[in-house]
């Protein structure tokens, strides 16, 4: 899985959302998937919410069941944006963002799921991510926020 590479919070969040929504149980073990996503995390342990990111991966037993039917998912990312509440912080208290370089970005898109015998389904997706983007450094994932921010 190629690592996203950007210094722009919205572009980075869009790339990460795409990675979170795409998986392939035919070619990737549960452990490999966990390691892939853990590799996206910021190195600042006090900020990193690894559990929120790993919660996007089905438990190992379920992953095994999905692998039996050769399930995989593809995704299309529509757009990323700063939630209104975060835009207000950026406008009124930018020093709070500069302190840790953490941005909230909501990303929308569509995930298509496929499995053995031509089965498939699709649904709209939306996720709010916390991403860390400091000046002159590549962005990193901080976590998945508990809900989609308005």
Q: How confident is the model at residue 124 (pLDDT cuts 50, 70, 90)?
A: very high
pLDDT for position 106? 96
By DSSP bridging, strand 72-81 and strand 119-132 are unpaired
Angle at CA 125, nearest 5°, toward 41 and 8?
45
Q: Does the global pTM surpass 0.85?
A: yes
pLDDT for position 61? 97
Tens-digit pLDDT profile for residues 38-79:
999 999 999 999 999 999 999 999 999 999 999 999 999 999
* Coil, helix or strand at residue 110: strand
> What is the rounded radius of gyration, in angstroms, for the C-alpha atoms of the chain?
16
Residues 6+ apart with CB under 8 A from 148: 106, 126, 127, 128
Interatomic CA distance for residues 132 and 13, integer angstroms: 10
Tens-digit pLDDT profile for residues 18-28:
999 999 999 99
Domain ranges of the chain: 9-135
Number of residues assigned to the chain: 150
Q: What is the CATH number of domain 9-135?
A: 3.10.450
Res 150 pLDDT > 90: no
Tens-digit pLDDT profile for residues 69-106:
999 999 999 999 999 989 898 888 888 888 889 999 99
Question: H or E element: which one contains 66?
Answer: helix 60-68
């Amino acid at each position: 899985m190629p690592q996203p590479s950007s210094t722009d919070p919205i572009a980075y969040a869009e790339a990460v959302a795409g990675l979170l929504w795409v998986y392939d149980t035919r070619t990737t073990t549960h452990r490999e998937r966990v390691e892939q996503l853990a590799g996206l995390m910021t190195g600042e342990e006090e900020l990193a919410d690894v559990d929120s990111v790993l919660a996007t991966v089905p438990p190992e037993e379920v992953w095994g069941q999905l692998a039996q039917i050769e399930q995989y998912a593809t995704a299309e990312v529509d757009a990323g944006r700063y939630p209104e509440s975060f835009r207000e912080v950026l406008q009124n208290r930018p020093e709070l963002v500069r302190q840790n370089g953490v941005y909230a970005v909501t990303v929308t898109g569509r995930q298509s799921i496929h499995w053995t015998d031509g089965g498939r389904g699709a649904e709209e997706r939306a996720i709010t991510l916390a991403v860390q983007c400091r000046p002159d450094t590549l962005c990193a994932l901080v976590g998945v926020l508990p809900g989609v921010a308005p």
